[in-house]
Amino acid sequence: MDPTTGPDATGPTATERLEDELARIDQLEARVRAWVARAEPASLRDAVHAAPAGPLQGFTLGVKDVIDTAELPTERGSPIYRGRRAGVDAACVALARRAGAVVSGKTATTEFAVLTPTHTTNPHDETRTPGGSSSGSAAAVAAGMVRIAFGTQTAGSVIRPAAFCGVAGFKPTYHAVPVTNVNPVAASLDTVGYFATTVADLAAVHQALTGVAAPAAVAAVALRIGVYRSHEWAAADEDTVAGIERAAAALRRAGATVLDVPLVDALADASRDATAIMLSEAARSFAWERAAHEEQLSRGLRSLLAQGDLVGAEAYADAQRGAVLARNGFDAAMTGFDAWLTPAVVGEAPPIATTGDPVFCRVWTMLGGPALTVPSGPGRGGLPVGVQLVGARWADARVLAAGAALDAALAG
């Protein structure tokens, strides 16, 4: 397919989409502030026109600024790395380019993809957070500035921003996508994920990066979905509760088998274990930055890393053993289901001073299976709220298929 001709007779061509995206950047970037570096429009036009054939031919791609790109700086949201140029593409970027994608620029991240909010605003309300840490990636896709974007997730940094910004977000199975030349936070948890406005585009990205064929359309009637409210359910506000009920009802109307799933005992301590693993590994991942540039780390990050110092070796080992037991318990409970429907966020995006709480994400990240955000409609304040579909490890195609069916059911 020539990217100048478009994928079908009615959809916009890649060049037409690019022109619309550039116009959206001109119109909205001063308010949204999704980007930290951008390719020149002329070079983008040339690159889209010459994009190689592949599942992402002509797709414009935003890259979170903790992921290396050959021609643009990667500053990791920190003054320590201001002006840093890696000179190489991260593996995920190289794979996307080989599949026909064109890098539009680097998107804003929280400091080292951890917790300090960046300057990016939510495209739906500039007083609200776009979520973290993949703030710019989610906001750029939601604002129509780019077709797809890469993020990373260590706790909830893909699922949560997607929900807050009203787009689709996918965290694939741990290690399905290489993290080569991606700045590490916690090696046991870090996963490259992606944002798009449609589940179909997410599936195309997943195919390009993993070789897993985009799933064929699945009728809802063929799906078996569990509704899992989780041990953290008390944190869900009225908007998230309504979103879960709305999604479950839409799937039932479409013919899916939707069953409530009782709490899984093996997951009772999973959130605690995930937190211990993340804190301990982060404290060690940033050993050099702490030793050489501690004064340039934010107070919040220094505090978090100090908490990681307090997680002793035995407590860390206990948490890792707990993670194994949790994965085994989850795998057993998932038998017979295509996916579980569970909260993605507490509710609508909170004020911009925070990136929101990953309470409904960190367990699924630690378990290592695929997780998908699907927009479920507005909350009481008119802002987006998303729900999450999760699945067993390496069941990425099944979760994406279930997500497409859920999206269609909600639209119907």
Residues belonging to the active site: 64, 133, 157
Residue 260 CB-density burial (10 A; 0-12 exposed, 13-18 middle, 19+ buried): exposed
Q: Are 112 and 66 in contact (CB under 8 A)?
A: yes
Query: CA-to-CA distance for 57 and 14, rounded, in angstroms?
Result: 8
Nearest to 145 by CA among 206, 60, 40: 60
**Could you tell me the CA-to-CA distances from 6 to 49, 60, 132 in Å, in that order?**
11, 14, 33
**According to DSSP H, which parts of 86-237 are helical?**
91-98, 135-142, 159-165, 199-210
| C-alpha of 325 from chain center | 25
**Could you tell me the CA-to-CA distances from 319 to 174, 286, 368 in Å, in that order?**
18, 20, 15
Nearest to 409 by CA among 143, 212, 199: 199
Is residue 370 helix, strand or coil? Answer: coil
Identify the helix (H) or strand (E) that includes residue 279: helix 270-285
What is the end-to-end Cα distance of the chain in Å, rounded?
Answer: 31
Give the β-pairing of 148-153 and 224-227.
Answer: unpaired
Residue recorded with tokens 């080569």:
180
